[in-house]
Amino acid sequence: MNGLVVITGATKGIGQAVARRFARAGYDLAVCARNENDLHQFKRETETEFGILTHIKKTDTSNKAQVNNFCQFIQDLKRPVSVLVNNAGHFTPGETMREKEGTLESMIESNVYSAYYTTRGLIENMKQNGGGHIFNMCSIASIKAYPNGGSYAISKFALLGFSKVLREELKEFNIRVTAVLPGATRTASWDGTPLPDERFMKPEDVAEVVFNAYSISTRSVVEEVIIRPQLGDL
């Protein structure tokens, strides 16, 4: 039986690229996103192109109840989870002292609680099956504050902290934890920018780094990986 890779926010950008990279290697997928039409299109494309199974569930990962339902959906598959990629999240620009009321709460719910509750919901599956690999999609903003980064940077700093805590808690269970810190990547969030595509990283490059980190011997773990555009941050 193929291994199962669980990815949140898998129909666009980095999440989609990571999902397609694992599918190309023969892994089945279990994914969620907020748009049901996107999910069904993603399922058709991946199953047709790669000959794997793709399980989908509409989920707003900023909503704890929906995250719990997604985790139960995974558990009902009765399959061991090989990889969990906590990718879902979003960016709202602004300064902390000027941004709209509730922005911090929204960023924390989308970028931190989503990973926290998804991991809690699936961790016993990994423990019972003797191992696995968790990837948390952090950001360069996890280690460097940017103008107009506001609460987004706060949430990504917190996600990196969560990754470090998980690493210490799960090492004895043969569960690897990797924090991925990408710089500017050409996804839909950059639509409308006057900058050329060549100035950005490709989502497929981030996906390849994730897959390679997973592919090394389980005797080793890539704890953190920083990926930047060749010409530096934007």
pTM for this model (two decimals): 0.96
Query: Within a domain: residue 232?
Result: no
Full domain range(s) for residue 145: 4-227
Query: Within a domain: residue 118?
Result: yes
d(CA 228, CA 20): 21
CB-based contacts of 102: which residues, under 8 Å, 6+ apart? Answer: none
Query: Within a domain: residue 67?
Result: yes
DSSP calls for 2-32 = --EEEEES-SSHHHHHHHHHHHHTT-EEEEE
Query: Within a domain: residue 234?
Result: no
Query: Within a domain: residue 156?
Result: yes
Handedness of CA 144, 14, 39, 30 (dihedral sign): negative
Query: Within a domain: residue 164?
Result: yes
CATH number for 176: 3.40.50.720
Query: Within a domain: residue 19?
Result: yes
CB-based contacts of 155: which residues, under 8 Å, 6+ apart? Answer: 89, 104, 107, 108, 110, 111, 112
pLDDT of residue 200: 94
Tens digit of each residue's pLDDT, the chain (234 residues): 789 999 999 999 999 999 999 999 999 999 999 999 999 999 999 999 999 999 999 999 999 999 999 999 999 999 999 999 999 999 888 999 999 999 999 999 999 999 999 999 999 999 999 999 999 999 999 999 988 899 999 999 999 999 999 999 999 999 999 999 999 898 877 888 899 989 999 999 999 999 999 999 999 999 999 999 999 998
pLDDT of residue 187: 87
Query: Within a domain: residue 151?
Result: yes
How much of the chain is helix, strand and coil, in % rounded to 5?
45, 20, 35
pLDDT of residue 14: 96
CB-based contacts of 83: which residues, under 8 Å, 6+ apart? Answer: 3, 4, 5, 6, 22, 27, 132, 133, 134, 135, 214
Overall domain count for the chain: 1
Q: Return the H-helix or E-strand segment holding 56.
A: strand 54-58
Whether the CB-CB separation of 158 and 112 falls below 8 Å is answered with yes
